[in-house]
């Protein structure tokens, strides 16, 4: 599985989740898990996504997500799950 | 399943604490580059580098984007050129043409440095070694992306004092030839004792003769992450402090290991080593000096600095060793003055002196690094400083290095500005009492005894 972690960081506003999910669904990215929390007053969301059947390549989706983030004033990053697994799991 | 707090922690390290992978360095052997003339050899070297490393920069950028972590430098280390050019080079100018070819290859593949314009002369110099060493000032002045190193001593061989004397002259001449840029040439020239064959960091990187055809070595970084972690354990015992540093070093190194494995797989080149160094940059919050302050010193250089650094260095290794399958290179905390904002501040206010830096190099990698000294410092004084630092490495069985920049036309109280990762440096005073007669002696200092340790 081509597992990617999508994180959203910024001020909480209406429709963040809707925007991101719509985009991912339009590009055939399957969302496996979502969790969110507030740290230091900032909204943090994490999605575990499966890019196996995605229509576009990882780099393009990553750029487009970043762009969506800029439009709604939050920081959206897509990173392969390996970096987190490697750092936090032995 | 990953926890959101772990994801936040990793991204905070990257975004707020300047966590990055400092360098992916591809080591390339040039030993079988052939040619019966200098020009044929140059063609063969150019071909080898541009073929082997053609995808290095692209692969580095792809990994950077996929993992969301900056990979600051993509670099190449090569077989010491004195060994490669020895068969055909008859003059120093011949070596300079090879250096220019290397520079052209660096531009072609897009790396910011190629290291290995080097000679290994820890016991004696061949004719080719001497020609290469004498060509260094012109080679560095006429190229942009080449780093040079000369290994003048080791624990097994002692110190080649003829080479030490020569390097004092070469450093000064390099400074003169690059005086229009604050003697920048000297920032790309390092003198080493016990140099490792697999160091990914510049300026001392070269692809040793014990290595295979090509290899991927990765240098990690992360002083900002360590600083931030120990800020959370203010006032706690050494036990808590050390555990915190170890855990942080483990996490930093795991990222390096992942990047190295990915790069190795995609480039089809074996993974060599991870260098566990805490490498600072001039950016605020990316400083080893700041880590020392967080441990409890007013400035780097205050009494206690050597002990704090020894502890820091040891914990970084202890944490990092388990995170990587192969560790090598220099592996320790770097203390380059011009590349570390808090070291610069400490030197400027007088807390940090050349002599204290020398003591600090006994307990960490790597040596007197990126230190600007007055432009009128005598060649023999530079050689004396080199000899002292080499002796520390020789006796303590560790790598030591000297990268001094005599800034022509400037004196104590002024600044040298190198720009980029090389930063800027206050010009530090040097002890000018003479060592002329000591340096004038010919021959070498014998290898030290390996028993009766005191």
Distance from CA of B68 to the nearest CA of A (A): 6
B67–A83 CB contact, under 8 Å: yes
The predicted-structure confidence for B381-434, as pLDDT tens digits, reads as follows 999 999 999 999 999 999 999 999 999 999 999 999 988 778 889 999 999 999
- Confidence grade of residue B277 (pLDDT, cut at 50, 70, 90): confident
- Mean of all residue pLDDT scores within chain A: 92
Query: What's the complex ipTM?
Result: 0.92
What average pLDDT score do residues B201-230 get?
Answer: 94
Which of A86, A89, A90 is the best mutation test for B, with the most CBs of B within 10 A? A86
Q: Cβ distance B85 to B94 under 8 Å? A: yes
Give CA angle at B398 (B393, B403), nearest 5°. Answer: 60
Domain B219-440 belongs in CATH node 3.20.70.20: yes
Give CA angle at B59 (B55, B64), nearest 5°. Answer: 155
The model's pTM is 0.94
pLDDT confidence of residue A80: 96
What average pLDDT score do residues A22-28 get?
Answer: 95
Distance from CA of B7 to the nearest CA of A (A): 6
Which of A45, A74, A75, A84 is the best mutation test for B, with the most CBs of B within 10 A? A84
The number of C-beta contacts closer than 8 angstroms across A and B is 62
Least confident of B173-187, B190-204, B413-427: B413-427
Percent of chain B with pLDDT over 70: 100
What DSSP string runs through A20-55? Answer: HHHHHHHTTPEEEEEEEEEETTEEEEEEEEE-TT-S
Cα maximum dimension of chain B: 68
Supply the Cα-derived Rg of chain A in whole angstroms. 13
Q: Is the pLDDT of residue B453 over 90?
A: no
Q: Using CB atoms within 10 Å of the CB of residue B41, give its burial: 0 to 12 exposed, 13 to 18 middle, 19+ buried.
A: buried
Helix (H, G, I), strand (E, B) or coil at B144: coil
Q: Cβ distance B188 to B142 under 8 Å? A: no
B257–A86 CB contact, under 8 Å: yes
Q: Cβ distance B303 to B353 under 8 Å? A: no
Distance from CA of A52 to the nearest CA of B (A): 15
Q: Which of B2, B25, B15, B107 is nearest to B70 (CA)?
A: B15
Q: Which residue of A has its CA nearest to B7?
A: A84
pLDDT confidence of residue B435: 98
Q: Cβ distance B25 to B219 under 8 Å? A: yes
A87–B66 CB contact, under 8 Å: no
Give buried/exposed letters for B286-318 (b at 16+ CB in 10 A, else e): bbbbbbbbbbebebbbbeebbebbebbbbbbbb
Whole-number Å distance between alpha carbons of B162 and B212: 31
Q: Report how far apart the first and last C-alpha atoms of chain A are (Å, whole number).
A: 20
What DSSP string runs through B218-279? Answer: EEE--HHHHHHHHHTTTT--HHHHHHHHHHHHHHHHHHHHHHHHHHHHHHT--EEEEE--B-
A79–B254 CB contact, under 8 Å: no
The residues of B whose Cβ lies within 8 A of any Cβ of A are 1-11, 62, 65-69, 251, 254-255, 257-258
Number of other CB atoms surrounding residue B449 within 10 Å? 8
- Residue B65 or residue B365, greater confidence: B65
A88–B258 CB contact, under 8 Å: no
Distance from CA of B256 to the nearest CA of A (A): 10
CATH of the domain at A61: 3.30.70.260
Pick left, alpha or beta for residue A8 (phi over 0 → left; psi -120 to 50 → alpha; otherwise beta). Answer: beta
Of B4, B5, B67, the CB nearest to A82: B67
- Give me the phi and psi of B349, to 5 degrees please: -90, 0
Q: Cβ distance B365 to B331 under 8 Å? A: yes
Half-sphere exposure of B447 (CA within 13 A, CB side): 11
Percent of chain B with pLDDT over 90: 89
Q: Which residue of A has its CA nearest to B8?
A: A44
Of B2, B65, B66, the CB nearest to A84: B2
Residue A54 domain boundaries? 3-88
- Confidence grade of residue B216 (pLDDT, cut at 50, 70, 90): very high
Number of other CB atoms surrounding residue A25 within 10 Å? 11
Domain count, chain A: 1
Q: Which of B75, B72, B61 is nearest to B27 (CA)?
A: B75
Q: Is the pLDDT of residue B243 over 80?
A: yes
A46–B7 CB contact, under 8 Å: yes
Q: What's the CATH fold of domain B25-193?
A: Anaerobic Ribonucleotide-triphosphate Reductase Large Chain (3.20.70)
- Residue B420 or residue B119, greater confidence: B119
The predicted-structure confidence for B73-103, as pLDDT tens digits, reads as follows 999 999 999 999 999 999 999 999 999 999 9
Give buried/exposed letters for B62-78 (b at 16+ CB in 10 A, else e): bbbbbbbbebbbbbbbb
The number of helices, as runs of H, and strands, as runs of E, in chain A is 3, 4
Whole-number Å distance between alpha carbons of B108 and B145: 11
Q: What element of type H or E holds B422?
A: none
Q: Is the pLDDT of residue A28 over 70?
A: yes
Whole-number Å distance between alpha carbons of A65 and A61: 6
Of A36, A78, A84, the CB nearest to B6: A84
Q: Cβ distance B20 to B221 under 8 Å? A: yes
Residue A51 CB contacts under 8 Å (≥ 6 apart), including other chains: A2, A3, A4, A29, A58, A61
Which of A6, A78, A88 is the best mutation test for B, with the most CBs of B within 10 A? A88
Query: Which of chain B's residues have a Cβ under 8 Å away from the Cβ of A39?
Result: 8
The predicted-structure confidence for B151-162, as pLDDT tens digits, reads as follows 999 999 999 999
Number of other CB atoms surrounding residue B107 within 10 Å? 13
A83–B68 CB contact, under 8 Å: yes
Distance from CA of B448 to the nearest CA of A (A): 42
Whole-number Å distance between alpha carbons of B83 and B128: 8
Residues of chain B with CATH 3.20.70.20: 25-193, 219-440
Q: Cβ distance B183 to B171 under 8 Å? A: no
- Mean of all residue pLDDT scores within chain B: 95
Query: Which of chain A's residues have a Cβ under 8 Å away from the Cβ of B6?
Result: 84, 87-88
pLDDT confidence of residue A1: 62
Residue A62 CB contacts under 8 Å (≥ 6 apart), including other chains: A77, A78, B65
pLDDT confidence of residue A16: 87
What average pLDDT score do residues B19-33 get?
Answer: 95
Q: Which long-range contacts (CB under 8 A, 24 or more apart) does A65-69 make?
A: A65/A6, A65/A20, A65/A23, A68/A19, A68/A20, A68/A23, A69/A8, A69/A10
Q: Cβ distance B281 to B18 under 8 Å? A: yes
The predicted-structure confidence for B124-134, as pLDDT tens digits, reads as follows 999 999 999 99
Distance from CA of A35 to the nearest CA of B (A): 7
Residue A60 touches chain B, beta carbons under 8 Å: no
Query: Which of chain B's residues have a Cβ under 8 Å away from the Cβ of A66?
Result: none
pLDDT confidence of residue B221: 86
Distance from CA of A76 to the nearest CA of B (A): 11
Query: Which of chain B's residues have a Cβ under 8 Å away from the Cβ of A5?
Result: 2, 7
Q: Using CB atoms within 10 Å of the CB of residue B415, give its burial: 0 to 12 exposed, 13 to 18 middle, 19+ buried.
A: middle
A7–B10 CB contact, under 8 Å: no
Distance from CA of B240 to the nearest CA of A (A): 20
């Amino acid at each position: 599985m081509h597992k990617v972690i999508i994180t959203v960081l910024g001020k909480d506003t209406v429709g963040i989740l809707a925007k991101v999910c719509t985009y991912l669904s339009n590009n055939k990215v399957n969302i496996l898990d979502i969790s969110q929390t507030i740290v230091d007053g900032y909204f943090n969301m994490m999605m575990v996504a499966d890019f196996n059947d995605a229509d576009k390549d990882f780099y393009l989706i990553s750029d487009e997500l970043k762009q969506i983030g800029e439009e709604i004033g939050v920081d959206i990053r897509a990173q392969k799950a390996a970096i987190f697994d490697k750092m936090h799991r032995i | 399943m990953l926890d959101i707090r772990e994801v936040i922690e990793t991204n905070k390290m990257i975004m707020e604490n300047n966590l990055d992978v400092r360098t992916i360095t591809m080591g390339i052997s040039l030993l079988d580059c052939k040619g019966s003339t200098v020009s044929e050899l140059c063609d063969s070297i150019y071909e080898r580098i541009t073929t082997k490393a053609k995808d290095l920069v692209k692969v580095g950028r792809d990994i950077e984007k996929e993992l969301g972590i900056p990979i600051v430098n993509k670099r190449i280390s090569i077989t010491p050129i004195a060994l490669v050019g020895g068969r055909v080079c008859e003059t120093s100018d011949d070596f300079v043409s090879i250096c220019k070819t290397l520079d052209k290859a660096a531009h072609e593949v897009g790396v910011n440095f190629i290291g290995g314009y080097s000679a290994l002369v820890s016991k004696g110099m061949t004719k080719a070694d001497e020609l290469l060493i004498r060509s260094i000032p012109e080679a560095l002045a006429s190229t942009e992306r080449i780093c040079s190193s000369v290994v003048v001593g080791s624990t097994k061989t002692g110190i080649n004092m003829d080479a030490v004397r020569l390097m004092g002259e070469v450093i000064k001449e390099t400074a003169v030839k690059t005086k229009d840029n604050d003697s920048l040439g000297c920032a790309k020239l390092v003198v080493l004792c016990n140099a490792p064959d697999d160091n990914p960091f510049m300026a001392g990187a070269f692809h040793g003769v014990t290595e295979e055809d090509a290899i991927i070595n990765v240098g990690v970084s992360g002083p900002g992450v360590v600083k931030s972690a120990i800020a959370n354990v203010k006032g706690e015992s050494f036990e808590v402090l050390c555990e915190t540093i170890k855990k942080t070093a483990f996490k930093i190194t795991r990222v390096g290991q992942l990047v190295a494995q990915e790069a190795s797989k995609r480039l089809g080149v074996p993974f060599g080593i991870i260098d566990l160094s805490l490498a600072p940059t001039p950016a605020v919050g990316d400083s080893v000096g700041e880590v020392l302050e967080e441990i409890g010193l007013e400035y780097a250089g205050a009494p206690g600095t050597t002990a704090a650094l020894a502890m820091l260095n040891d914990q970084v290794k202890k944490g990092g060793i388990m995170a990587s399958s192969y560790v090598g290179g220099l592996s320790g905390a770097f203390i380059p003055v011009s590349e570390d904002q808090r070291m610069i501040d400490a030197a400027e206010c007088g807390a940090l002196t050349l002599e204290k830096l020398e003591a600090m190099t006994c307990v960490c990698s790597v040596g007197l690094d990126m230190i600007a000294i007055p432009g009128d410092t005598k060649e023999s004084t530079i050689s004396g400083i080199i000899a002292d630092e080499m002796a520390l490495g020789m006796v303590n069985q560790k790598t030591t290095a000297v990268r001094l920049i005599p800034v022509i036309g400037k004196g104590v109280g002024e600044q040298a500005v190198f720009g980029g990762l090389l930063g800027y440096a206050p010009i530090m005073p040097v002890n000018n009492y003479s060592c002329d007669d000591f340096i004038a002696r010919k021959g070498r200092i014998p290898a030290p005894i390996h028993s009766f340790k005191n």
